[in-house]
A = this chain, B = another copy of it.
Amino acid sequence: MVEFIDVRTEDGVTRRSFSLGVAGEAVPAVLWAPQDASGPRPLVLMGHGGSQHKKTPGIRTRAAQYALRLGYATLAIDAPGHGDRITREEAESNMREVGARVTGRVAADWSPERLKAMAERMRKAVPEWKAALDAVQTLDFIGDAGPVGYWGVSMGTAIGVPFVAAEPRITCAVLGLAGLRPGAAEMEAAAKAITCPIEFVFQWEDAVAAREHGIALFNALGSKEKAMHINPGGHMEIPGFEGASWERFFKRHLTEGAKAGVLQAA
């Protein structure tokens, strides 16, 4: 049973905050839905990026738009070591550190220590996402019949790849801003196990994900329907039209259930 700590309605969208106990830790979660929502509806899970949190502007803006325009619910949780799971001082320090890396001011850190810490975070995050999904599917305004989509780029993809691979309730996902580095066997196996439609967004001058690693991750995805969208610019410079593309991707798969045909184009 989900107990809401805080419920607020603004401009037609209701935001409910709650906390999940997973493996002895409290995982803060937030759920957006249309005001007065009742009955089952599509659900999008949104995984934030490194140093960000569950209510980061990109997530809360899209969550409100999806509620208003598509009638969807959106769920976000704080990743291990992020958001309300750390102090404000730690969060600010992380933001400075990640900010320096993604803008290329500081070289990406692929030390064995950091890779180990990241792998541990992934393993912790997957059961947390599952527990969060279990919890909200008991709500009458979401239900357990699905469909469920996932959105997460950068760290949201590092966590999203093993999560989407392990979670059959997810029927489509937007991933990106991440790569498959040589020797990342766990990530590669997870990518290969993914079979749902994927839209993979990638920035061509990304200081933390090399072109060849981005292509390698796209190639590893086991999905029959997968599209890679490459745009110029850095990690924080995804063009606005890709946001519109994500919305249409979710609409196509979560509302319309469309099958991809083939164009008579060539």
Contacts and interface: CB of A to CB of B under 8 A. Distances in A.
Contact of A236 (B238, B245, B248, B262): B262
A58 B242 contact: no
Contacts of A239: 225, 227, 260-263
A140 interface: no
A231 interface: yes
Contact of A248 (B177, B244, B263): B244
A266 to B, nearest CB: 5
A57 interface: yes
Interface residues of A, number: 43
A168 interface: no
A111 interface: no
Nearest to A239: B260
A189 interface: no
Interface string A224-236: 1111111111011
Interface in A231-266: 231-233, 235-245, 248, 252, 258, 260-266
Contact of A56 (B201, B238, B264): B264
Contacts of A224: 232
B226 A242 contact: no
Query: Which residue, of A225, A229, A265, has the highest number of chain B Cβ atoms within 10 A?
Result: A265
Contacts of A56: 264
A266 B229 contact: no
Interface string A65-93: 00000000000000000000000000000
A14 to B, nearest CB: 22
A187 interface: no
Contacts of A154: 266
Contact of A177 (B177, B238, B240, B266): B266
The 5 A-B residue pairs whose C-beta atoms are closest, nearest first, are: A240-B261, A58-B264, A228-B230, A239-B260, A238-B263
